[in-house]
Each structure stands twice: as C-alpha cells, then as structure tokens.
Amino acid sequence: MWTVKVIGFSVLAASVSVELLNWLRRRYKARKTLNEVIFFPSELGCVEHLLRPSLPYPCYCALPHGVETSLSRLLRHILSASSSLDLCVFSFSNMDLCRAVLALHQKGVIIRVLSDKQYIAISGSQIGPLRQAGICVRSDVGSVYMHHKFALVDGSILITGSLNWTLTAVQGNMENLIVTMEPELVRPYIQEFNRLWEINDPLKHPNSVQAF
Amino acid sequence: MWTVKVIGFSVLAASVSVELLNWLRRRYKARKTLNEVIFFPSELGCVEHLLRPSLPYPCYCALPHGVETSLSRLLRHILSASSSLDLCVFSFSNMDLCRAVLALHQKGVIIRVLSDKQYIAISGSQIGPLRQAGICVRSDVGSVYMHHKFALVDGSILITGSLNWTLTAVQGNMENLIVTMEPELVRPYIQEFNRLWEINDPLKHPNSVQAF
C-alpha cells in the first residue's frame, strides 16, 4: 500500500514539475521572441489608417483599402515605438516611412538617424524634412559607403535586411527584412549603432559637411 | 517514517524531472539556435588556411595570419555546408567567396545561385567562373532589381544582411550580416528562394538572356 502511495506521489511530483517548467518555458519564449520575415516588393494598399489613425473620415484614395501589405507590416513595427527609434539607413527617400518617423517624433519618441553622406543629399531624400522637423540626423564621415539598412525600435526590436528606405525598394525590388526581438541579434546592432553615432558626432569632425 | 520516505521520494522525483528537462532544453536550444551578427568592413587577414586547408606549407602572403576576421567568420559558415548551398545575391564579385563556393562544389555540395540579371555581367563578376565550373546559376527575369543578399547553408543556416558579395562590401563599406538557425527566420527564406528559383527557370522564359 505504501509502495503504491510512494509511486503515486512521485508521479504526481514529476508531473507537476514538468507542467511548471513547460509553463515557464512558454512564458519566457513568448516574452522573448518576435521573429518575422517580410518580403518585398510590397503589394499596393492604402496606409493612411496607420499614418493618420485619428482621421475623422475614411480615405477615398484609389489604392486598395483594408489589406495587409509588406509596407503596412513594416509601418506597424516602426509605429509601435513608444520611447526611441534609431535608424541607420543608407538611403532614405520613401515618403510613407518618412511620415511614420515624423509621426513618432510628434508623439515625443526620441529619434536618431544615421545615413550615408553621399545619399543624404540626393534628389528625393527625406533627410531634409526630418532635420527641418527637429530630428537629430548624422551622416557618416568616412570615405566608404555606410551601407546598413536597420532600425531599432525601443531598443528591443531589430528591423534589418536588404531594404533601403526608398520607393523603388518598397514597391519595385525583390527585398527582404527580418524583424526580431532575439537579444543575441538585437544587442550587437544596438552597440554598433551607438558606436557609429559617436564616431560620426559632427563636433568631433568640425570640417565635415553635414548635408542639409 | 513512511511519510518521510514519501516526501523524500517526491523531492527526488521532482529534482530528477527538473534536471532532465533542463538538460533537454539546453540540448534543444544548443542544437536549434545559432544567432550571430557579423559587421563589416572586415579586418585584413589571410584566409588561405580556410580555402586550402590541405596546403602542405604555410602561407607566406603579406596579410596577417592567425587572426579571426569578419570575412573568415563568414567563410567558415559558408564552408560548413555539407549537402547544399543556395545563394541569392544581387552582386557577386568577391574572389574569396567565389573560391569558397567552388571548393564546396568540388566537394559535391549541391549549389544553386540566383543573381540579378544586370549585375551578373558586370566587370569582375564571379558568376562566369561559377557557371564554367558547372554550377547552376539563374538570373532573375523581372525588370526590377533582385536586391537580396542571402545564403542558405544545408537548408538550416541563414546568412543575410546588407552585404553584397563584393570586395568593396567586404573590405570597404559598413555592412552587417545575421547568421541564424532560428527556424521561424530560416523557413521563409527557404520558401522564397524556392519560389524565385522556380519563376526564374530559363525553360519558362526561352526568350530571356541568361548572361554568361
């Protein structure tokens, strides 16, 4: 009888332990990981509801409405920023992405933009409007391309891939983006952004031209 | 006395369960996750020991020896392929990376290369030598850029980022690469590669020019 009880208790204890550990593992995993891949070119779709959610009337533009596209998924991640957005982009000329950054700036999100010094001044660049709005923009002072295309949302979400922030890249090219919260991936990008931000401080390079 | 025994057995069973689960979790995690970030430009360093490991004499080139660089880390991941390597690269002109691909081909690794039709024929492109060696190369038939820069090693390791497979990108530009085995990230890239491989089958586009 006692042997049965001992075995019973042992099985019960083991089961409870397994369940507890599984619950902890699921909870840890759910909190830690966001792993998403977005491919481009994006399908066409109106994104006004994301950029102007308080619009009192529906949008009547010619684009399809109510569809989730690659661009809308990217915009949702960017617009989820509540405290900071760090951008390190080779080329930035996409107006929808610029509007998203400006909307965050108006909400009080702290934004830092680092871009390539040659591409910062090309026709259609949105770096000018960002600077005019008071967003801190730095261009790299090196002689090579600053070819990164990544963003860090609230220091916890990394968005990176082949996609430059241009209209051609979003609507034309075949491109890819990873959106992840994996700490082993996010951490090095945070360190690299801070390193590049510091070495490209215009105060350290008084003779460099910060375009716009 | 029996109560003590019951409690003792329960505690023992619980401890063993916890240890067993932790061991299984660690083993699963170690097998599943490789998450690495590599930044460029690469430091200078000789990579002959990776590309020709059977070389009977040491290399006497002018580059530093015995140093781990961004390029050597990238090469190690590529050369780890034992069954397949799928490449989807906008521009491919780096000779060290070409030699790595050729070495894998000689080992019997099945290689598929998809590249941009405009950049496939530029001066210094390594697509020609790959085709001459008998590697299957396809160029995209679309009118836009095939701007991806990713590789899939044995269908389980994804290498992706801003880095084109060029000398300028590896040794000059500021670039980034993610190397990951995260299934949620790897799987979509495998599907996208297979999709692009199929739609760019030259048999489906008899009038398209497959350069080289």
Strands A157-161 and A110-115: unpaired
Residues of chain B neighbouring A169 (CB-CB closer than 8 A): 147
Q: Residue A37 is nearest to which of B39, B172, B188, comparing CB atoms?
A: B188
Contact B35 A5 (CB under 8 A): no
Strands B84-89 and B149-153: antiparallel
Mutation site, B20, B42, B178, B181, interface A, largest A CB count within 10 A? B178
Q: Which residues is B147 bridged to in the sheet?
A: none
Q: Residue B17 is nearest to which of A14, A180, A196, comparing CB atoms?
A: A14
Q: How far off is chain B from A128, nearest CA to CA, in Å?
A: 23
pLDDT, tens digit (0-9, with 9 covering 90-100), for B13-67 = 777 777 777 777 766 655 558 999 999 999 999 999 999 998 888 899 999 999 9
Q: Is residue A210 scored above 80 in pLDDT?
A: no
Six-digit token string for A59: 């949008």
Contact B9 A10 (CB under 8 A): yes
Using only C-alpha atoms, chain B has a radius of gyration, in whole angstroms, of 23
Contact A162 B10 (CB under 8 A): no
**ipTM summary value:** 0.84
Q: Where residue A128 falls among pLDDT bands split at 50, 70, 90?
A: very high
Which of A6-20, B107-121, B170-184 bottoms out in mean pLDDT, i.e. has the lowest? A6-20
Mutation site, A4, A9, A149, interface B, largest B CB count within 10 A? A9
Q: Model's pTM, two decimal places?
A: 0.85
pLDDT of A212: 45
Alpha-carbon distances of A108 from A75, A137, A190, B6, B167, rounded to whole Å: 17, 16, 21, 60, 41
Residues of chain B neighbouring A142 (CB-CB closer than 8 A): 174
Kindly report the backbone phi and psi dihedral angles of residue B48, in degrees, each rounded to the nearest multiple of 5, phi listed first: -60, -35
Contact B10 A5 (CB under 8 A): no
pLDDT, tens digit (0-9, with 9 covering 90-100), for A9-66 = 777 777 777 778 777 776 665 555 899 999 999 999 999 999 999 888 889 999 999 9
What average pLDDT does the structure give for chain B?
A: 90
Q: Residue A9 is nearest to which of B10, B160, B176, comparing CB atoms?
A: B10
Average pLDDT on A80-96 reads 97
Q: Residue B178 is nearest to which of A16, A149, A160, comparing CB atoms?
A: A160
Q: Is residue B88 scored above 80 in pLDDT?
A: yes
Q: Which segments within chain A are labelled E, that is strand? A: 35-40, 84-89, 110-115, 136-139, 149-153, 157-161, 175-180
| Residues of B with catalytic roles | 147, 149, 154
Contact A145 B173 (CB under 8 A): yes
Mutation site, B23, B29, B144, interface A, largest A CB count within 10 A? B144
